Structures are given as C-alpha cells and as structure tokens.
Amino acid sequence: MSYKVQGQRIVIVGGNDEALNKVRLVSKTTATVVIISRHIEADFRAFAVEVIERAFAPSDLDNAALVFVAEEGEDAELAKAEARARGIPLNVVDVPAECDFYTPSIVDRAPLTIAISTEGDAPVLARLVRARIEAMLSPRIGKIASLAGGLRQRVESLIHDGAARRRFYEALVTSPQIEAAEISGQGAEAAEVLLTQHVSADAKGVVWLIGAGPGSEDLLTLRAQRLLQEADVIVHDQLVPTVVVDMGRRDAERIDVGKAKGHHSFSQAQINTLIVRLAGQGKRVARLKSGDPMVFGRAGEEIAALRKAGIAYSVVPGVSAALAAAADTATPVTLRGVSSGFIMATAHGADDSDLRHWAALAQSGLTLALYMGKSIATEVAGRLVAHGASPATPVGIVVNAGRADKSTYSGTLAGLSSGQVAFSDGPAIIFVGEAVEAGDWADSAQLAGMSFKVA
C-alpha cells in the first residue's frame, strides 16, 4: 500500500539514531517531517526536517498522517496513547506488536519503488534482499521510467497496436543504448529515435554476445544476468551448463546449438545464419557463450555476419576459463620478477612453429594458459620440450574450473609428457610456466615423474 501524506505531518518522537533511520526514509516523501524529543542526539542537519527539542505534547499530532515512536519513556507512552486515540497509524520502532504498519526496506528508483517487508520479523533479511535487487536494477531505471511516462500520450497516438506498444516500452526500458544515452543526458533524444523506429514498424532485433563465465551461475556478470532476463531467445553452446541458461527469462525460447536434440551440432555458418534470422524477426537474442565471448568463442565470425546483415549487437564480457582456473588455484599468472605476462593460446591445431614460439615464451618466464588441450596434453607437453622448453617447467591443470566439481593436477612438462594421467571429465586449462609454482596446488593430483615443490 502507498499512503498519501502530502500536506500533512509525519511526527517522529525520538532524537536518536533510530529516529534518524526513519527520517532517512520519510524525508523522501512530500510530508512535513517533525522530530520531537527532549534529547536530540543524532545529527538531523542533512535533512529538511523540523527538530523540536522539548517534551511531547498531544497537540503535536494535529494534522499528522503517521506517527513513529523511536524512544522509550513517558513521552513515548503519551504519544502512543494519543496516536491511538486519534486513529493515526503508529509505528513503534522495533516493537512489531505495537505497530499499525511497518516500513519496508525500499529500493528507490523513483518513480519506480520496490518495497521489501518481513513484517518486522527479519529486517536484516529484508536488507539483504534489497541489496540483491539494487544490484539487479540499473541506477538509471527510474529516469527511464520517467521517460516512458513522458511519452505515453504520443505513443498512444502513434502506435495503435497494443502488442507493438508493449514492444516499444519493453525496448525503451531495457535497451542499453537508451541507458547509455541517459548517462550522457541524451535519454529523451534517444527515446525519440527509438519511437520513430518503432513507428516505422521495422524495429530490428539485437544480438547480445554474452560471456557466461566458466559454468557457475554466480560467476555471471550483473549485466549478463540482466540481458538474459530481457532476451526473447537464448542461443547457447553446450559448454554453458543448464544452471546458467536457467538464469534467463523463463518463457524465453532456448536453442542449444551444441547438440540440438539428436541432431548434429550446428555448424558455425548455421549459427551465424540463425542469429541473423532471429534478430531479423525483431527478436532480442542472447548469444550465450562459455567464458568470455571474445576468447576462443568464434565471436569474430558471428560479429562479421551481424555487421553484414546490419543487425545491432553488443558484447558482454565474461570470466574466461583461464582466469577461473587461476582463481581456483590462487595462481598469479603474472608475478613480479617471475612472469611478466600471460598468454591465452589454443593447443588445438597448434603447429611446430606455434610450439617453438610458446616454448620460447615459457622459457622467457611468460605463463601459458592452453585452451582446448586436454585430449592432446601429453603430446603438447612432449612437443614443448622437444622445441626447447625445460622438462622441469611447472605445469598446473584445472578441469572444470570455476565449478563445484573442479579437479586439479600439478607437476612438470616431463611428468605430463609421460602420459600417465587419467583426467576427470570436463573442459580443462593447462598452465605452463614458472609462476604456476606460486599457486596453491596442495590438493592437486601429482603428474608422474618429477614434481615441483609445493610452497
């Protein structure tokens, strides 16, 4: 329930921090806020409120819409009795049994307001829930809601179809372009442009290339989560686990281009065609890729196809597998005096000159993070040594990085090249380089042969 207080007073009996907390909330209303107490302890100067340092008097409740009692004692009892006698809704701070109403935690994106209440049972929980909702909603969403309000009449006269109108509003409140424009004070202009596009009825869709991270839902970015909620279609790879895809809107269409129910997986050309076609139908497409979309994600080809078709797109970064693997094992992939850089490379299809190059880089102290190398790990390790890397170079491997079921292996290039290791199922990152030794590999399985010291 929202309660009208304009032109009336909100009276707070108490001058302590509890009173200050209520002031923070009610000073956002259009009421006149009055604080009455014999002991004004908190600092109310930051708020436009009237502070009266004296005993409570019944006439203080004249024209009061709401009363808060935030202290104990004679004045408090008098104020409670007076409020009840006059039928003015009363809130006694921290005494739910005496309250006529509770003040919820509020997410304030005026004109959008979200209230969270536990009816006084667990205010701490309400605050935590609030923090989550705060993180979900752009700070600009209120401004954008006002933009929508300002456009209502024009939208009604220009777009007659109800569904088309709804699409326009959805686009307005979810478009990253509008948000970006709002930041630079151009929100109204951008909203006009959007409206024109929708009026000409050829509103094109958009493709968001979204990094899903290594496979845990809490390693998604907030932006990724927001866009997944907005997408009409989610096109995802097989490496993206269901828990992450499930962060999307429940009624969004989902297309698994990794395995497509009993069919062959989609070819890259088919994926390009698919996302262009979906966006061409005006849909908002979340193209969800594991890790970061720009790292071994074939994003380049998809972006080229979108550009060619004139379809809007944007890219949302994600936690790449090597970074999740580094975090899992506390491995500093760059380390002062040891490793001055970090190479993300694919072991798949690497030729002799690649390997010679990497061997030299590893010798020079750089850390290699090899993607797509698990099935050929033994061979790659052997070839790195053959091309000049020291057999004693530390190696660390993380299977299922960033996930609850991760497993880790450590040793040296010589140990890995011996081939005596059975990895658990799942994708893997292979680290090679001196900095690996600085990580925490204490719980890892040892590769055969020489092993490095665990610090």
- Active site positions, annotated: 237, 259
Q: Tell me how far, at minimum, the Cβ of 190 lies from ligand SAH, in Å.
A: 31
- The sign of the dihedral angle between the CA atoms of 359, 364, 368, 374 is positive
State which residue, 205 or 291, has the beta carbon closest to ligand SAH: 291
State which residue, 13 or 344, has the beta carbon closest to ligand SAH: 344
Stretch of residues binding ligand SAH (CB under 6 A), selected from 21-29, 217-225, 401-409, 414-422: 401-409
* Residues 369/343, Cβ–Cβ less than 8 Å: yes
Q: Which residue's beta carbon is nearest to the bound ligand SAH?
A: 291
Whole-angstrom distance, CA of residue 390 vs CA of residue 138: 51
Residue 295 binds to ligand SAH (criterion: CB under 6 A): yes
Stretch of residues binding ligand SAH (CB under 6 A), selected from 58-66, 83-91, 260-268, 318-326: 318-326
Nearest to 441 by CA among 399, 401, 404, 411: 411
Residue 287 binds to ligand SAH (criterion: CB under 6 A): no
Residue 239 binds to ligand SAH (criterion: CB under 6 A): yes
Stretch of residues binding ligand SAH (CB under 6 A), selected from 111-119, 183-191, 301-309, 399-407: 399-407
Nearest to 113 by CA among 85, 89, 134: 134
Q: Tell me how far, at minimum, the Cβ of 373 lies from ligand SAH, in Å.
A: 6
* Residues 105/123, Cβ–Cβ less than 8 Å: yes
The pair of structure tokens assigned to 363 is 């010798």
Q: Tell me how far, at minimum, the Cβ of 424 lies from ligand SAH, in Å.
A: 11
State which residue, 155 or 321, has the beta carbon closest to ligand SAH: 321
Q: What are phi and psi of 107, to 5 degrees?
A: -100, 115
- Candidate residues 291, 394, 396, 439; the one interacting with ligand SAH per rule CB under 6 A: 291
Residue 286 binds to ligand SAH (criterion: CB under 6 A): no
Residue 320 binds to ligand SAH (criterion: CB under 6 A): yes
* Residues 292/187, Cβ–Cβ less than 8 Å: no
Residue 394 binds to ligand SAH (criterion: CB under 6 A): no
Q: Residue 74: how many CB atoms within 10 A of its CB?
A: 10
Name the amino acid, one letter, at 220: L
Which residues in 29-68 contact ligand SAH (CB under 6 A)? none
Residue 209 binds to ligand SAH (criterion: CB under 6 A): no
Whole-angstrom distance, CA of residue 438 vs CA of residue 313: 40
21-29's contacts with Cβ under 8 Å and 24+ in sequence apart are 21/93, 22/68, 22/70, 22/91, 22/93, 22/103, 23/47, 23/49, 25/103, 25/106, 26/66, 26/68, 28/108, 28/110, 29/5
Whole-angstrom distance, CA of residue 377 vs CA of residue 448: 13
Which residues in 359-388 contact ligand SAH (CB under 6 A)? 371-372
Residue 401 binds to ligand SAH (criterion: CB under 6 A): yes
Count of CA atoms in the C-beta half-sphere (13 A) of 147: 28
Stretch of residues binding ligand SAH (CB under 6 A), selected from 87-95, 157-165, 222-230, 288-296: 288-296
Which residues of the shown chain bind ligand SAH in the complex (CB under 6 A)? 214-215, 239, 289-292, 295-297, 320-321, 325, 371-372, 398, 400-403, 427-429
